[in-house]
Amino acid sequence: MTIDEQLLARVEALRIPLDDPTSPIDWKDWYHFLFLDKQGKVRVLVNITTIGRPESGEIQVTFLVNLASEYLPPEYRLDIPLATFGTAFSLQWQADMVRRNPLRIQGNGILLQVDGKHSILQVQDERMQLSIRCQGEAQATPLLVTEDSPFGSGFIGWGLVPGLQVTGELSVGGQNFSIDRNWFTYHDRNFGRFRWGEDIGWEWFVAFATCDDGRQITLVLDQRTNKDHSAKAFPYIFVYLDDELVKTFLGSSLAVNWQWSDDPVMPVRLPGIMASVFADRTLKVPESLQVEAAYEGDRLLLNVDFESAIELVIPDNQARQYSFIEEVTGTLEVNLFLQGETLRGKGIIYGEYVL
């Protein structure tokens, strides 16, 4: 499939003004990757964010791994389907750490480079015994969804490439896993100006399923909300079939229903210092999700059971206020009725519910 490289370049372009020493420090520009073993036994999230401006900002990194319990030594196995490992750390943003064209973000323990269709990603935390090194090539139709959607006190934009061909290696506690073309890899971009802790939130997921006939479906949901999700903006789900965008369900054609745990729980929480600050904060977590959509004779039915949840605490860089990102992953069944054809599949989902 031919990739529109001009559109891809717009998706990947760094938006923070690098040469303006007076640019606002509420700028945010982040690069987000998911790596899913198609058997569902290894699931990886990597997020690299630039915040503020050179010499007066940070580069923030989140690196999460969900690992099937069967991969753990017998003495560490738990009665849960997935164990969670993770690290989150920040680097002071020095002037030489970020380059615009081609994009390069480099610092102690991190490297991200995007040049056209090709990318390199490396993250390592020796203390936590976590590392990933890989290189990829964009395969799916890129989308630049929005560039200036109102959000909190400012705006937000994003684009996505929901399919890369990747090779590399993941290491968790000294155990190595090869990442190859049999994995599903998703990448998106967010950018804008707003403050964490404002009355903002979102609901997002990417779902990947293999159909009975071997074809592959990718579903990407985005819905912006306020902090308690009582007010929701225009939702949409992009539907990809084998790396090509084939359908968009949006607005009133779409119903997204989250089901929650009966009782509040104490989630796994990162970074560690925030886990201490919010040690008494419990919350209900998503247990399942149902999505129904119908438009122009096409229909989508999605049923999800979540297996793992972790909370990321994101502080504002100007005031003592926070947003909370609930990262959830699980298994799914999908039924897609598209242009008179019925597609059924099973797969994996990774989502966020932001408070």
- Identify the pLDDT of residue 72: 86
Across the chain, what does the average pLDDT equal? 95
- Identify the pLDDT of residue 80: 84
The model's pLDDT over 272-293, given as tens digits with 9 standing for 90+, comes to 888 889 999 999 999 999 999 9
With pLDDT > 90 as the criterion, what percentage of the chain qualifies? Answer: 92
Local confidence band at 85 (pLDDT 50, 70, 90 cut-offs): very high
Res 165 pLDDT > 80: yes
Q: How many CA atoms lie within 13 A of 107 on its CB side?
A: 20
DSSP three-state, residue 100: coil
- Identify the pLDDT of residue 75: 73
- Identify the pLDDT of residue 275: 85
pTM as predicted:
0.96
Rounded Cα–Cα distance for residues 123 and 46 (Å): 8
The model's pLDDT over 252-269, given as tens digits with 9 standing for 90+, comes to 999 999 999 999 999 999
- Identify the pLDDT of residue 76: 73
Rounded Cα–Cα distance for residues 73 and 86 (Å): 18
Local confidence band at 245 (pLDDT 50, 70, 90 cut-offs): very high
Local confidence band at 24 (pLDDT 50, 70, 90 cut-offs): very high
- Identify the pLDDT of residue 272: 87
- Give the Å distances, CA to CA, from 206 to 185, 209, 220, 276: 10, 10, 4, 30
CA nearest to 218, candidates 251, 259, 248:
248
- Give the Å distances, CA to CA, from 240 to 81, 142, 243, 270, 343: 28, 11, 6, 32, 12
Q: Which residues pair with 144 in a beta bridge?
A: 159
DSSP three-state, residue 39: coil
- Percent of the chain as helix, strand, coil, to the nearest 5: 5, 60, 30
Res 202 pLDDT > 80: yes
- Identify the pLDDT of residue 273: 87
Res 78 pLDDT > 80: no
CA nearest to 295, candidates 256, 332, 339:
339
- Identify the pLDDT of residue 266: 92
Res 140 pLDDT > 90: yes
Local confidence band at 231 (pLDDT 50, 70, 90 cut-offs): very high
The model's pLDDT over 92-134, given as tens digits with 9 standing for 90+, comes to 999 899 999 999 999 999 999 999 999 999 999 999 999 999 9
Residues in the chain: 355
Average pLDDT over residues 148-154: 95
